[in-house]
Amino acid sequence: MQKDSQRIRGTTKLIEQSARQLRQQLTPAEAHLWRALSRRQLAGLKFRSQHPVGRFIVDFYCPSCKLVIEVDGDVHTQQQAYDQARTEQLQAFGYQVLRFTNKAVLNSLPTVLEEIIKVAEAKSNHP
């Protein structure tokens, strides 16, 4: 039985252990965004970092509006295909997925945060 009703079935203890390890190894862009999202600093929303959602570990997750935020580094074609398939699977379970590049997070954080707030508010108003 899952402890968190927001998770997709399929989360295993190994995935949860991996998530705990990843929380200690955030990329510079992830750490930069986490400083803005943690402790309900962004519009009072609660976010989780490196959170298990089924068989995936998402970079950031807001349970109140089922919002997943991914920070993408430099990607090649194979990675883009994987990310797209993963996004589609998460969306099929009712999660909204926002993707930002490392560059956007590091160089345009206010714009990134505005987009997150806009989507979170829209999601909260239209479940």
Which domains are assigned to the chain?
27-125 (3.40.960.10)
Quickly state the pLDDT bin for 4 (edges 50, 70, 90).
Answer: very low
Residue 7 has a pLDDT of: 46
Segment holding 116, helix H or strand E: helix 109-125
* Residue 8 confidence (pLDDT) above 60: no
Residue 36 has a pLDDT of: 98
Q: Which tokens hold the place of 27?
A: 């990329």
* Cα–Cα distance for residue pair 77/16, rounded to 1 Å: 28
Residue of 13 and 68 predicted with greater confidence: 68
Q: Which tokens hold the place of 72?
A: 């993408």
Which residue shows structure tokens 């570990």? 57
DSSP class of residue 28? H
Note the pTM of the prediction, 2 decimals. 0.85
Q: Decide: 62 and 119 in contact? Cβ < 8 Å.
A: no
Quickly state the pLDDT bin for 2 (edges 50, 70, 90).
Answer: very low
Tens of pLDDT along 21-59?
Answer: 888 889 999 999 999 999 999 999 999 999 999 889 999
The number of residues making up the chain comes to 127
Residue among 63, 48, 56 nearest 16 (CA): 56
Which residue shows structure tokens 């560059």? 103
Tens of pLDDT along 75-85?
Answer: 767 788 889 99
> How many percent of the chain have pLDDT more than 90?
66
Q: Decide: 60 and 20 in contact? Cβ < 8 Å.
A: no
